[in-house]
Amino acid sequence: MDRTFVMIKPDGVQRGLVGEIVSRLESKGLKLIAARFEILSEKRINEQYREHLKKPFFPSLKKYIMGGPCFLMVWEGRDVVSIVRKVIGATNPQEASPGTIRGDFGNDIGRNVIHASDSHESAAHEIAIHFKPAELFPYTRIDESVIYEY
């Protein structure tokens, strides 16, 4: 099974969307194998968003992410990276389709509720930033035989 990193940002936590988001991903047949609330350190935010460090919006992004608790998660499933990206929708909520998390709950690109890894490589990198291997709890869902064709 593949793994991906997902983070509900402070606006999603503040708006009480954690349960709704977890429910949508679980309903899709994905498996939550790690999760916790945390206010991220500047060091981890810099690692998480390293490709944006020199961009003009980064200081505002960093202040926003550090401004409240985030809900960090690792999800597992076949093709989980692409599935999660489809469920969350386009980065800009104005372009996200209705029925996606950002399409239903996001209003502004700077407050778009959720982050998810965009590739297997970024997923591995982001999971390693936020979770130790001992903090991941893989298991077999009782319904996997009806979710996946083996």
Catalytic residues: 115
**Residues 52, 83, 74: CA angle, nearest 5 degrees:** 65
Written as six digits, the tokens of 99 are 């029925």
Q: Which of 34, 28, 31, 33 is nearest to 86 (CA)?
A: 28
Residue 50: CB atoms within 10 A of its CB come to: 11
Beta bridge partners of 36: 72
Contacts of 127 (CB under 8 A, 6+ apart): 3, 4, 5, 74, 117, 136
Is the alpha carbon torsion for 90, 91, 96, 100 positive or negative? positive
DSSP 8-state secondary structure symbol assigned to residue 40: P
